[in-house]
Structure 1
Amino acid sequence: MSRRWTRHIPNFDWSRRRCFVEPVDGGGRARWGGTGSSRTASYGLTRAAREVLLGAHPPVTLTGRAGTALTQTRESNSELVHPDGTVVVRGGRDANMRWWTWAGYRANATLAATLTTIADPLQRPTDTYIQLREDVTPTEWQKVISEAADQL
């Protein structure tokens, strides 16, 4: 039995800020294809995503399914955002230590290049976090961040 995969290109009405898509047989899963340096998110876009995770309502009408998905996404990512600042988390699938800056790719790449004593040298910065060395202590973290702030 062969499977037929259909890919539909959405229709955009830029003047009205609308995107029209059609369902495909067998359902589907929408995914953000933002990988690689040519598809990085800006500071503004990344911060807007953070604000939505913190509870801001996007200025669009959500379907019931989208509302449910947004609620689930907020719940499953609640430990990655804090209204008063950034978050450092150890754990996840790979048990690495990550600094969730929500600063965008360019800022995170700059931070990783600047904070070489605590950033994982093998990492690839993302739009949302910087991977830290596994052995960074809270004391070392505070010292490095304080020294970097003093240089500004």
Structure 2
Amino acid sequence: MAVFTADPQIVILHGREEVGSVDPMLLQRRVEGPRLITLGGRSWQVNYVDWKRHRAYVEPSDRAADSKWSSMPQPESYALSDATRRVLLGAEPTGVTLSKRAIVKLEELRGEYINRVAADSTVLVREANGRLRWWTWAGARANAVLAAALLEISPKLLDEPRAYNNWQIGLRGDATAGTMGRALRDIRDTLHSAPTRFRPSIDARALKSLKFSELLPLDLAVSATAERAGEPERATDISERPIQAVH
């Protein structure tokens, strides 16, 4: 008998109509109030997740969906997010031929993100509305670990536990590069001594997505699910970089 597991996609259904699919990670995080997602250009409220069948049932919502994901429901790997950062810094994509329109669009994006990328550091940017965003370009799984670490080490710095996406983490408006630097030193030291200390928060209902979860003790099932949702090695890499503040 062969036993293996893989990260399945969750099919999103509105009635019998298939709206699309999302990575399980999007539905595993704990939320307060209704769970909202953006898919197919609109907001949806998730009413029920059938973890065994890998399906979720939704209905249209007039509320703004989880903008923390910036309409990007699929978690990116560190490699992809970091490649995006390097291209925005000026690296030319290899193995592809860009059309004239793509070249123009790429230059527009480089201009738009010029203050959010840096060669050797992460970037802390204060937006016009006063909110802070920490641009790590680490991918959602590494950012999930960093958000969990901030929640434990210095919770007053974090906007809210789920305020992150593939590229950035939302911070409170009174956070500074200095306070972030001190928190990151503690996080870095902890990650070096205990790499799996900081684990993303997992909704208990999401444990059904783990094969044979009913055969595992609860703490082990939570640990296995959280391990899939995080990349502590990449989070450690990010914690070792200096922070550059941009106003």
TM-score by length of 1: 0.71
Counterpart in the other structure of 2:169: 130
Counterpart in the other structure of 2:179: 140
What do you get for the CA RMSD once the two structures are aligned?
Answer: 1.7
SS, match of residue 80 in structure 1: coil
Letter in 2 for 1:145: L
State whether structure 2 residue 106 is matched by structure 1 residue 67. no
Distance 1:101 1:113, change over 3 A: same
Q: Which runs of 4+ in 1 moved over 2 A?
A: 33-36
Q: Deviations over 1:53-94 (max 9, x none)?
A: 0111012111111101101110111000000111010115x4
TM-score by length of 2: 0.45
State whether structure 2 residue 53 is matched by structure 1 residue 53. no
Letter in 2 for 1:69: K
The number of residues matched between the two structures is 117
State whether structure 2 residue 119 is matched by structure 1 residue 80. no
SS, match of residue 78 in structure 1: coil
Letter in 2 for 1:65: R
What displacement does 1:46 show? 0.5
SS, match of residue 87 in structure 1: strand
What displacement does 1:34 show? 5.9
Mapping of residues 1-152 of structure 1, within 5 Å: 35-36=72-73, 39-59=74-94, 60-92=96-128, 94-116=129-151, 117=155, 118-121=157-160, 123-151=162-190, 152=192
Higher normalized strand content (fraction of residues):
2
Judge which range, 62-71 or 122-131, deviates more: 122-131
CA distance in 1, matches of 2:120, 2:170: 21
Letter in 1 for 2:122: T
Distance 1:138 1:56, change over 3 A: closer
CA distance in 1, matches of 2:90, 2:105: 13
Say whether the 8 Å CA contact 1:34–1:40 is kept in structure 2. Answer: no
CA distance in 1, matches of 2:84, 2:161: 26
CA distance in 2, matches of 1:65, 1:99: 30
CA distance in 2, matches of 1:95, 1:108: 22
Q: Deviations over 1:13-58 (max 9, x none)?
A: xxxxxxxxxxxxxxxxxxxx9622xx11111111111110011101
CA distance in 1, matches of 2:180, 2:71: 29
SS, match of residue 114 in structure 1: helix
Task: Provide the identity percentage.
Answer: 39
Judge which range, 45-54 or 140-149, deviates more: 140-149
Distance 1:149 1:122, change over 3 A: closer
What displacement does 1:122 show? 5.4
User: What runs of 5+ residues in structure 1 fail to find an aligned partner?
Assistant: 1-32
Letter in 2 for 1:56: A
CA distance in 2, matches of 1:34, 1:120: 19
